[in-house]
Structure 1
Amino acid sequence: MGYLEQFKVEEIKGKLTTDLSYLGKLYKVKKSKYITRNIEHSLLDDFIKKGWEVEGKPMATKTKIRKQKEHSKQFEDDIWCQFYELGFRHLNYDENLHLPFSSNEEDTKQIDVVAINHEAVFLIECKSSDKPKKITFKDEFELLSLRLNGFRKVIEQAYGKGLRVKYIFATRNLKIDYNDIDFQRLLKTNSFYYNDNTYDYINNLIKSYKKASLYQFFGLVFKNELINTEKIELPAVEGKMGKKTYYMFSIEPEMLLKLSFILHRTRANEAEFPTYQRLLVPTRLKGITKFIDDGGFFPNSLIVNFSHQNKHKLIFEASSRTENSLSKIGILKIPNAYAIAYIIDGQHRLYGYANSKFLSTNTIPVVAFDNLDSKEQLDIFMDINQNQKAVSPSLRTDLEEDLFWESPRADMRIKALRSSIVKGLSNDPNSPLYKKITVGEDKAVLSMENMKLGLIDSGLLPIAKGNSFDESSVYYCVYNTHNHEHNIEMKKAKKEITEFLKLCYECVQEKFPVIFNKERFFIISNRGSFAYISVIGSLHRYMIDSKILNKNSTPTERYTAIEKYLIALLEKLSSLNQEVAQKQLDIQGKSAEKKWLTFFQSLINEKYPEYSPSELTDWKERQDENLQDEGGVYIKSVERRIKTSVLDKLKSLYNEDWELEINTIKTTCQGRANAENEKNYKEGIKDRVDWMEMFTINDYKKIIDDNWGKTPKENSNFIKFSDEFSIDIGEGINNRKDALKWMSHFNSYRNTWAHEGTKNKGLNKDEILFLKKVYNHFFNA
């Protein structure tokens, strides 16, 4: 007998309804973002002053008004609607539902949403904030275990035994420390934490799976919990593939749907390792269901993996083995538990049955592996899908963490670590970049790729090739390359770098919210992501060179050291005039990210001149007009000298046959001249270009190379090509290739200086010094 009097039980039950018509109307009201009222016309002004607004045209005696719901009310309604969309048709309609947890009349707790179906009762408590904030819930969780025991007794008294009771603590815009002792109390009660990631994921499930989403939802909230203690017994064949055991059997789709779980690549499944599946395509799912209902079938097997979590192990009882086969025939006993069968391949086929009339009357073939580790599951998935369009480039990038985390190669492990850091920034509700980076199925304003490129450029992680680290990158990075416990070091580096970057982005979020909240601007944009993370790395290197930071510095110490420089940058970005800002935002092309980086660095340098990184110094030199003019003098003088000398030597060597000797080059030059003359003609320019004006540096280089040591018999004063055009660029000369290497550098610098598309790049001091050396070789030798 329960501890509540029956009238109390009926009072609680009376605050829930199964009236489908009423639930439908209530859903429409709760789905709306507004509260609506019909009021007398005379009261309108008073309501307008309180924030209400008119909706539609006035009626004869009334005016319809509306007001946006408070965030707490909106969140409760959103959760209620989500359970309605999942298919629940036994829900609370009364928002003032206080559930007793003892016989003491004062021991009650308000429950915001109650949802019931034939298997379970969900008690959902909702907490929210209009803006993201950190919070603890000591009062909520301290006595939770005691309250839940009482709630279960009330549910049993009201609805009988057999229903599973699950308490859900749902939050929106709240940052919770998962290591906090109070949060751990929540988890110890076997309750489910329903955060922003979960809410978004369930919404996506509903869009993709419709009514079938309930199977995946149950798998999510009841993962590894027993449905009942009776094992499912199926005839099966046991086999070996490599060192792995697998089973082949047939099973009803309805039964497998309850046991199965799909590791969708979303933030809500981040704790799983790995996750690799895409959400289903709704139109395809509908087509598969129709195909099945029209008598169609799939002869190929689903591929699943049975997890051994919580000791839910498969048991195979062999009955016989044929003489000609290693396979065994027998009975496979499967634990009857939620989400123990991970679908590796065949999710569309399985969920196509969810809404089919053959859900419980057909059987489908299955190949089931027994307790594969995460990497093995992923390998099978990739092997099946690698040649199919189904695995998108963004998913492949997202999978790098899982594919390469335990790789024997250092460069692959660093690649996995970069992926993991970016996902940590995006998936953690406590991160300023939460849900702002596209990860797997979760689309957002920032791309993973630009974030990863920023990390590469930042130097916070070392550069590796194969199993060797670039020593120049090791000095500044956070990662300890000498720690051969790779898994431990990777986790440590991930935690430290993620926390460091979070603090740097919190600086923008909290101190410069206008910049932070403006998408596709200077910080929350793809080019901005690269530039901001790169400049963080540049400042970090500067602090290490200044002996302010070292490898043992904490994330907080790293942030504190560079904070004033970040604030200088953000203040400058906040005060840019519109023309300058737009000019920077309009920069396109492959070099855009680097240009944004030097722009950021220059803004910091204006306030702190002592911060002058090599990239910025290089950029300033390339903008120096005096340097560019000096370089132009050297280039034009050397180019004229090469042309005159090469052609004079050709004439001395071959006399009137010199043109025939270079006929292939002449033909190419003639083609260039013809194209240029045609262009001039169409533009109304009468001047004509001679083919001898169309030589390139590479043409000269080939002529020099082909005639390297030749001399004319009759000219004893002839200076050989090898004597005039050999220049040591500082690497020594061991052969003709070394002697002519300067020409490739000269040609590159000449093109940088001369071509319209690279004029913003210019030449730096080192390049000018090289050109001066070449110039002196010809004119001051």
Structure 2
Amino acid sequence: MLDISGNIVKEGDLERITRLKTKSIIEITVDKPLALKYKEEGWQIKKEYTRSLKIFKNKTVDVLFEDEVWLLFKKMGFKEMNKNRQLKVSVGSDSRQIDVFAKDETHIFLIECKSSEEVSKKDLSKDIREILQMKEGIIKSLRNYYAKDYHFTFLLLTKNVEPTQNNLEIAKENLQKDFYIWKYEEFQSYKELSNQFGDHTRYILYSILFENRKLAGIDTVKIPAIRGGKGDNKYYYFVIQPEKLLNGVAYIHRREKNPREIKYTYQRMLNKSRLERIKEFIRRGGYFANNIIMNFTSKPTFNKRDEIGDIVLGTLTFPRIYGSAWVIDGQHRLYGYLDSGKSTDAFLPVLAFDNMVVKEQAKLFVDINKEQKPVSVGLLWDLYPDIYKDSADLKQQELRAISLIVKKLNSEKKSPLYNLVKLPSQSKDTQKWAHLTLTRLCIAIKENRLIKEKEYLLFDESYDKTIDTAFEVIKEYLGTISKSFPEDWDKAEKGFLCSNIGIRILFNILRQLLKYLEFYEDKSVYLAKNKDRFNDKTKEILGPIIEKIKNMTPEERNKIRRDTNRELIVENTQKLLWDLKQKTNFGIELWRKGGWNPGIPKEENDERIKKLIEETEIELKTFIVQELKLLYGEGWWKNGIPSDTKKYIDDIVKKEISKSPWKENELKAEPVEERLRFVSIAHLKDLIILKNNWGQFERYFAKDKEIISTAFKFYKAIRDKYMHSDRLKDLTEIDKGLGYWNMKWLRRCIGLTN
């Protein structure tokens, strides 16, 4: 049996077949007597001649998809391809039909296409099994046919056919055997890349599929270079033809495996109009004197020839690895040489670091690009998933995770933010409904410390794992909110809830919701896979806030939306939460440094406030004694009162005795409970948050000791002024309100109702 049956075309024939495959119809010329037979098969007459007819028929769905795939690989620069679907490769005594065959100087791709008119789920196990079983036989036949070894890759592409999870798992297990499944979204990503980069897309493809594998069929790059640096901090300086970097060595994506993400990376990093301007500059004879900066992510070799101080002259040999050098700066200068006609005879100066740690190369990238006008803060947020991909630095991991969470909220169809987030890397045409900015959403997550490791809110073992965990919680939370007031949510930026400011406020509230559930319920409420309970709790707890928003006038909601300052956003959040905070302690963390309050109620007067202050102090001392006795029993004074507080009390008693000696017996004989009257407000706070006492008291107050400290601070401030009437004039209305409401909170914590 022949190794191959059917036609493989190249050069002129390849261009002719390309023209045929771009059409949505099949055209043939037949003798007139055969017209009836073809008409019965669905053919239609296009043109009539004397003895013959030109007839046509629409291509079927499967043929259209195969042609679409064929055209992509042709556009990527493959020089030999199958003429039609009649190509077969022998496998022992059998043969295998090949839908798309694509060959360049070093690689051969064998592609199976599965398509359907309507979206359907299908188990492709049989097809996968056949490909894997016949794979070695196909390779053997093609090696015999070409009398040369190539790198063989097998692809299974689908359109409107959804593989099962098991299918995808099998493909994942066979990546090192060069078998891949592409869904149509992945195929489209390469198609879009090819529209911008033409046949260079082939090298992007190789750097994705064959990461860390040796380059096949490409000459080893050896160039004169200067080496500087010491130890692990070495760098090289050299000049090189752009072509040698572009042919599989350099890359700008950060090791993403998802073609869609890589497409966005290239769109983010390479501005199309800027590339065209640079390309035109190069064609007119322009050149660049400033360095391309890159980092070898696979180790090069360097042979020393001479040495002058710390500078070493020698020959640098690039690693023969796909995607071995990440371009940190100069992407446009390098990629401007594509299709310029100058990529082989021009030279670029390059500064290349040798395996710089990810944290440092990411920092260098950010530092360089922050100084360059074209890179905005939004674009940096867009780039963090690329530049911080392999970083071990926790801060960089957090930034990367935040960006990926927001992008997932934008890309997942079940997300309430689906297609609503503007990404700098995407064109306006593809973001018609997007009105939320990537930066503001990312900042909302960051400033609320939702995924910070030490906060333990949505952090889940690692930042990579946290991405999905946080996405699910945020998706459900925003979904519940959007369904609670859809009339406003659907107005997008013209409404309140789904505006940029509204979303910032909702993220402020989300933090308080998670803290509240953690304190009064359990984290499992929102971390459980089934989110029904979380959704119910969200509706139950936040119902009053949603009602408050519903009852606002459009003017009131618009006013909040116009307050873009961070402090005003927090203040507006406090206003929304105030009533709920007063009833349930919800959101009290927002007031741990003070903040907005409605002022003293009109029915209050200075005399009543003073009585409340005095009563609160007495009741606090009684409450503390009561709880310490419950905790320590008869040893409450010894174990619950720290030595410095006891010394403070003893010193006060001694002063009293020195002033009034006749009180000595009375003071020494009184119960220790009475001695607490000598302590200050600051001492009372310290007794509550003392490490050994805290477990007894935290159930009554809040888990955050800073909140308690703040409440006591403002209570002490108002107390000190009211206990010395001459100081009342120094008390501002803001401080008076803060003191009053923090006192009311302390009273509520210890069980006082007014």
Name the TM-score class by shorter chain.
0.5 to 0.7
Give the equivalent residue in structure 1 for 2:279: 289
1:121, 1:166 within 8 Å by CA — same for their partners in 2? Answer: yes
1:239, CA displacement in angstroms? 1.8
Q: State the one-letter code of the partner of 1:497.
A: A
1:314 corresponds to 2:294? no
1:231 corresponds to 2:220? yes
Cα distance in 2 for residues equivalent to 1:289 and 1:768: 69
Secondary structure of the residue aligned to 1:335 is: coil
1:389, CA displacement in angstroms? 0.5
> CA 1:439–1:170 in 2, change beyond 3 Å: closer, same or farther?
farther
Cα distance in 1 for residues equivalent to 2:484 and 2:167: 27
Q: State the one-letter code of the partner of 1:221.
A: L
> CA 1:134–1:215 in 2, change beyond 3 Å: closer, same or farther?
same
1:334, CA displacement in angstroms? 2.2
1:257, CA displacement in angstroms? 1.3
- Which one of 2, 5, 18 corresponds to residue 5 of structure 1? 2
Cα distance in 1 for residues equivalent to 2:65 and 2:551: 42
1:150 corresponds to 2:103? no
1:247 corresponds to 2:229? no
1:559 corresponds to 2:531? yes
> CA 1:739–1:282 in 2, change beyond 3 Å: closer, same or farther?
same
1:262, 1:347 within 8 Å by CA — same for their partners in 2? Answer: no
1:292, CA displacement in angstroms? 3.0
Q: State the one-letter code of the partner of 1:147.
A: M
1:172, 1:195 within 8 Å by CA — same for their partners in 2? Answer: yes
2:577, 2:587 within 8 Å by CA — same for their partners in 1? Answer: no
Moved more, 425-434 or 209-218: 425-434
Cα distance in 2 for residues equivalent to 1:612 and 1:78: 61
- Long gaps (5+) in structure 2: 29-54, 592-597, 607-714, 746-754
1:82, CA displacement in angstroms? 3.4
Give the equivalent residue in structure 2 for 1:677: none
1:255, CA displacement in angstroms? 1.9
1:257 corresponds to 2:229? no
1:121, 1:165 within 8 Å by CA — same for their partners in 2? Answer: yes
- Which one of 88, 92, 98 corresponds to residue 103 of structure 1? 92
Q: Deviations over 1:56-75 (max 9, x none)?
A: xxxxxxxx9999996x7776
Give the equivalent residue in structure 2 for 1:164: 151
Q: 1:168-187 alignment to 2 at 5 Å?
A: 168-170=155-157, 181-187=169-175
How well do the aligned residues superpose, as a CA RMSD in angstroms?
6.1
Q: 1:122-137 alignment to 2 at 5 Å?
A: 122-126=109-113
Q: State the one-letter code of the partner of 2:209.
A: V
**Superposition TM-score, scaled by structure 2 size:** 0.60
2:476, 2:535 within 8 Å by CA — same for their partners in 1? Answer: no
1:136, 1:182 within 8 Å by CA — same for their partners in 2? Answer: no
1:728, 1:739 within 8 Å by CA — same for their partners in 2? Answer: no
Q: State the one-letter code of the partner of 1:165.
A: F
1:122, 1:165 within 8 Å by CA — same for their partners in 2? Answer: yes
1:544 corresponds to 2:530? no
Give the equivalent residue in structure 1 for 2:678: none
- Which one of 335, 354, 379 corresponds to residue 338 of structure 2? 354
Q: State the one-letter code of the partner of 2:15.
A: L
Cα distance in 2 for residues equivalent to 1:103 and 1:183: 25
1:260, 1:343 within 8 Å by CA — same for their partners in 2? Answer: no
> CA 1:398–1:296 in 2, change beyond 3 Å: closer, same or farther?
closer
2:10, 2:80 within 8 Å by CA — same for their partners in 1? Answer: no
Give the equivalent residue in structure 2 for 1:220: 208
Give the equivalent residue in structure 2 for 1:397: 381
1:380 corresponds to 2:364? yes
1:634, CA displacement in angstroms? 9.5
Cα distance in 2 for residues equivalent to 1:396 and 1:302: 20
Give the equivalent residue in structure 2 for 1:369: 353
> CA 1:393–1:67 in 2, change beyond 3 Å: closer, same or farther?
farther
Secondary structure of the residue aligned to 1:730 is: helix
Secondary structure of the residue aligned to 2:111 is: strand
Cα distance in 2 for residues equivalent to 1:415 and 1:553: 26
Q: 1:703-742 alignment to 2 at 5 Å?
A: 730=718, 732-733=720-721, 742=731
Give the equivalent residue in structure 2 for 1:120: 107
1:16, 1:91 within 8 Å by CA — same for their partners in 2? Answer: no
- Which one of 20, 23, 29 corresponds to residue 18 of structure 2? 23
Q: 1:297-696 alignment to 2 at 5 Å?
A: 297-308=287-298, 313-321=299-307, 324-399=308-383, 417-423=401-407, 425=409, 437-438=421-422, 441-442=425-426, 445=434, 446-455=436-445, 460-461=450-451, 474=455, 477-479=457-459, 489-501=462-474, 526=500, 529-530=503-504, 537=511, 539-547=513-521, 549-550=522-523, 555-557=527-529, 559-564=531-536, 588-590=561-563, 613=586
Cα distance in 2 for residues equivalent to 1:394 and 1:150: 51
1:263, 1:342 within 8 Å by CA — same for their partners in 2? Answer: yes
Cα distance in 2 for residues equivalent to 1:67 and 1:519: 43
1:149, CA displacement in angstroms? 2.1
Q: State the one-letter code of the partner of 1:304.
A: M
Cα distance in 1 for residues equivalent to 2:120 and 2:487: 18
Cα distance in 1 for residues equivalent to 2:602 and 2:424: 49
Q: Deviations over 1:158-197 (max 9, x none)?
A: 5552443222344568587699742422323233454566
1:366, CA displacement in angstroms? 2.3
Secondary structure of the residue aligned to 2:363 is: helix
Cα distance in 1 for residues equivalent to 2:166 and 2:410: 16
Cα distance in 2 for residues equivalent to 1:102 and 1:517: 58
Cα distance in 2 for residues equivalent to 1:553 and 1:565: 8
1:269, 1:275 within 8 Å by CA — same for their partners in 2? Answer: no
1:300, CA displacement in angstroms? 2.7
Identity %: 22
- Which one of 175, 182, 193 corresponds to residue 205 of structure 1? 193
Q: Deviations over 1:495-525 (max 9, x none)?
A: 5323444566788999999999997789876
**Superposition TM-score, scaled by structure 1 size:** 0.58
Cα distance in 2 for residues equivalent to 1:516 and 1:562: 20
Q: State the one-letter code of the partner of 2:518.
A: I
Q: Deviations over 1:187-241 (max 9, x none)?
A: 2323345456644543453344345444434433333332248633222222216
Cα distance in 1 for residues equivalent to 2:138 and 2:172: 20
1:305, 1:343 within 8 Å by CA — same for their partners in 2? Answer: yes
- Long gaps (5+) in structure 1: 38-63, 464-468, 481-487, 619-626, 636-726, 750-762, 771-781
Give the equivalent residue in structure 2 for 1:56: none
2:444, 2:507 within 8 Å by CA — same for their partners in 1? Answer: yes
Cα distance in 1 for residues equivalent to 2:603 and 2:56: 73
> CA 1:342–1:738 in 2, change beyond 3 Å: closer, same or farther?
farther
Cα distance in 1 for residues equivalent to 2:91 and 2:488: 52
Cα distance in 2 for residues equivalent to 1:737 and 1:456: 46
> CA 1:282–1:460 in 2, change beyond 3 Å: closer, same or farther?
closer
Secondary structure of the residue aligned to 1:382 is: helix
Cα distance in 1 for residues equivalent to 2:295 and 2:465: 31
Secondary structure of the residue aligned to 1:732 is: helix
Secondary structure of the residue aligned to 2:718 is: coil
Give the equivalent residue in structure 2 for 1:188: 176
Secondary structure of the residue aligned to 1:303 is: strand
> CA 1:223–1:200 in 2, change beyond 3 Å: closer, same or farther?
same
1:147, CA displacement in angstroms? 3.0
Cα distance in 1 for residues equivalent to 2:245 and 2:457: 48
Q: State the one-letter code of the partner of 1:120.
A: H
> CA 1:570–1:73 in 2, change beyond 3 Å: closer, same or farther?
farther
1:297, CA displacement in angstroms? 2.3
